[in-house]
Amino acid sequence: MIQCKDCEYCETSPRGKVEFKCNPFTNIKEPECLLKHQLMRLDMMTRAYMATIAEYRKIAPIQEKLYRHMSREVDEMDEADKWKRADEDEHEDDDGPAGPPMLEDQL
């Protein structure tokens, strides 16, 4: 098996960063290259996911404060509109039970 450092599609920068110019769909040298490519992609996806989780952890306190503030606002609006619902409840009690009238069993 050819090592990546010996492959023509592998380039190393002066800083030591390794860049792969190979494409698994067109110019792959050996079957093991595909496995390496999959591992690199999996590692990249894992790092991106971990970075996303770190960002979510940073904004979690802000989201919690926002949620509490919005809940308080909704509760205050409900309290302010309570007088409207009280009138509606009184009218429903005067009309009797809601729904169709009861049928009598007499013929």
pLDDT digits (tens, 9 = 90+) for 10-27: 888 888 888 888 888 888
Statement: residue 94 has pLDDT above 60 = no
Beta-carbon neighbour count of residue 9 at 10 Å?
A: 14
Quick check: pTM over 0.95? no
- Are 31 and 41 in contact, with CB atoms under 8 Å apart? no
Identity at 45, one-letter amino acid code:
M
Q: How far separated are the first and last CA of the chain, in Å rounded?
A: 97
